[in-house]
């Protein structure tokens, strides 16, 4: 009887230890989308997360769906906007060519010294572009942190780059707000840390970094990563600065356990 009780106790201890050392059995998988025609070019490197454990797989569904939906929406938007733009511009060119033909017919009637109004019959010498990449920074049972960087060009001097962070709790199956990662009541201390770790090469940036100016916040194994969009802290050519604050410096501020 005593042996049996010892055996039961041993099994209980083993089960408790096993539950405490539960392995986070999730994998990150990348896929690519390449599309190109005469109106646009699209490149997307996309993340999905899988698990052989059904319960964990189910909790990953909202994250996978959100990433997939956002990537599809971005690609569809490029296709729709480029089709509309080139269709409208094609119509404009057709109308201008018709005007030019009329001018040529009446050219003989134009008096010497009079000018004929120039007409632009050229189609735009560019195509729409979308380059989008999902980047994984950390993947634990507490948090999966992903950053999507998307560059869109639709004519003009340069394109627009946007940064979107996805911080997700596999444990609860829900997205984490920034306020669930950092204690926003300590904004002053966070701003001081941002200034401390800000590398302003050649003094290109003319605005001090602040928590409220960050476009995306992500978590790595050892730091919290703050991304600032172009123009936020300085001119476009200065770039999009990233400030990494060590988690060890965020005691009492970093909430994730």
Going from the N-terminus, what domains does the chain have, and what CATH number goes with each? 23-102+118-175 (3.30.565.40), 177-257 (3.90.640.20)
Q: Is the pLDDT of residue 75 over 90?
A: yes
Mean pLDDT of 157-185: 96
pLDDT of residue 17: 36
In the chain, what percentage of residues exceed pLDDT 70? 85
Confidence of residue 12 (pLDDT cuts 50, 70, 90): very low
Task: State yes or no: pLDDT of 16 exceeds 80.
Answer: no
- What the block records as the tokens of 96 is 């201008």
The pLDDT assigned to 194 comes to 98
Residue 42 has pLDDT above 70, yes or no: yes
Band of the pLDDT at 124, cuts 50, 70, 90? confident
Least confident range of 16-30, 43-57, 233-247 = 16-30
Query: What local confidence, expressed as pLDDT, does residue 116 receive?
Result: 54
Q: Which residue has the higher pLDDT, 19 or 83?
A: 83
Burial of 91 (0-12, 13-18, 19+ CB in 10 A): exposed
Confidence at 168, pLDDT banded by 50, 70, 90:
very high
Give the pLDDT band (50/70/90) at residue 18. very low
pLDDT of residue 107: 65
Mean pLDDT value across the chain: 87
What is the average per-residue pLDDT within 106-123?
59
In percent, how much of the chain has pLDDT > 90? 71
- Is the pLDDT reported for residue 209 higher than 90? yes
Report the predicted TM-score, pTM, of the whole model to 2 decimal places. Answer: 0.82
Lowest pLDDT segment from 8-12, 24-28, 65-69, 205-209? 8-12
- What are the tens digits of pLDDT across the range 214-227? 999 999 999 999 99
Considering only residues 115 and 41, tell me which one the structure prediction assigns the higher pLDDT.
Answer: 41
What local confidence, expressed as pLDDT, does residue 81 receive? 95
For residue 225, what pLDDT is reported? 98
Q: Given a cut of 90, is residue 115 above it in pLDDT?
A: no
pLDDT at 14: 38
């Amino acid at each position: 009887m005593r042996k049996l009780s010892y055996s039961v106790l041993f099994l209980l201890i083993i089960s408790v230890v096993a539950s405490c050392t539960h392995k986070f059995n999730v994998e990150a998988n990348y896929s690519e989308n390449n599309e190109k025609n005469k109106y646009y070019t699209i490149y997307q490197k996309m993340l999905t997360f899988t698990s052989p454990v059904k319960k964990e797989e189910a909790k990953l569904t909202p994250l996978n769906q959100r990433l997939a939906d956002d990537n599809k929406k971005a690609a569809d938007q490029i296709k729709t906007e480029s089709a509309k733009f080139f269709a409208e511009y094609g119509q404009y060119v057709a109308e201008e060519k018709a005007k030019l033909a009329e001018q040529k017919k009446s050219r003989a009637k134009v008096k010497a010294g009079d000018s004929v109004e120039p007409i632009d019959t050229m189609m735009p010498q560019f195509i729409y572009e979308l380059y989008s990449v999902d980047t994984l920074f950390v993947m634990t049972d507490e948090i999966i942190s992903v950053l999507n960087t998307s560059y869109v060009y639709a004519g003009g001097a340069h394109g627009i780059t946007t940064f979107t962070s996805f911080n997700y709790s596999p444990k609860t199956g829900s997205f984490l707000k920034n306020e669930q990662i950092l204690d926003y009541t300590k904004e002053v201390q966070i701003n001081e840390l941002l200034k401390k770790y800000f590398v302003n090469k050649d003094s290109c940036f003319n605005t001090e970094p602040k928590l409220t100016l960050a476009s995306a916040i992500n978590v790595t194994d050892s730091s919290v990563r703050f991304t600032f969009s172009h123009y936020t802290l300085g001119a476009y050519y200065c770039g999009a600065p990233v400030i990494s604050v060590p988690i060890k410096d965020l005691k009492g501020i970093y909430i994730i356990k």
